[in-house]
Amino acid sequence: MSNDLDAEIESLKGAENLPRHIAVIMDGNGRWAKKRRLPRLAGHRAGTEPVRKCVRASARIGIEYLTLYTFSLENWSRPKAEVTGLMVFLEEVLRRETLELDENGVRLNAIGRLDLLPRATRSALDRSIEKLSKNRGLVLTLALSYGGRAEIVDAARRLCNDVASGEIRTQDIDEEHFREKLYDPSLPDPDLLVRTSGELRISNFLLWQIAYTEIWVTDVLWPDFTETDLIAGIRAYQGRERRYGLHST
């Protein structure tokens, strides 16, 4: 890590108006690979280093939560060979990276319809989560087999079950009750949503949680994303006034 980057990270430590929770749509792996005439999976493999860099930098800066859109529900419709390759690769990454995450005090979390994951992938994920469960540093959440609409539907189903069992009355349901039925109600709403590859859409990611999230988009493809890009997003966030629907002062 360069001296300039070290200085940037040090300058952000303890700074005012840091985002507590950063969520990232890691887009552009396929395009990165296509530009180099490589298979799509090569783009996903190249995308692991930016994850490593962002986790390290976020932990050093003092970001409390980092959520990565790792595999969407829609991704299940991709060619079977690609999906299988992604699952095997995810297992490899979990085995390889858990030790470093542990050394950095990172706690691992996952949200989504995890029951759809292959048994081996789910087992690898559960082992890593358990191994890192006592850590008290950065909370790294992987959105796996995840869709924002699906999360809302699943939460509604849980609320319906509570009404049917008499645990709550329909007229008592409010936003807080609904939030409690999300995949991880302890996860605070993101302050900053980062999207790479220049696409101006949120792709069914954290639809409930990003109601007042600040969005920052960069043209950089995910495999080329660096700590400097992450810091640029944080700096942009620090320069904004969050009004939550209120008038500006």
Per DSSP, what are the bridge partners of residue 144? 71
Catalytic residue among 75, 104, 135, 204: 75
- Return d(Cα 50, Cα 127) in angstroms, integer: 23
Q: Which of 27, 29, 191, 229 is catalytic?
A: 27
For 150, residues 6+ apart whose C-beta sits below 8 A from its C-beta are 73, 112, 113
Q: Is 184 a catalytic residue?
A: no
Could you give the CA distance from residue 27 to residue 5 in angstroms, rounded to a whole number?
24
Helix (H) or strand (E) holding 22: strand 21-25
Ramachandran angles phi, psi of 139, nearest 5°: -95, 110
Q: What is the DSSP string of 109-152?
A: EEES-GGGS-HHHHHHHHHHHHHTTT--S-EEEEEEEE-HHHHH
Instruction: Tell me whether residue 189 is one of the annotated catalytic residues.
Output: no
Rg (CA), the chain: 19
What amino acid positions are annotated as catalytic residues?
27, 75
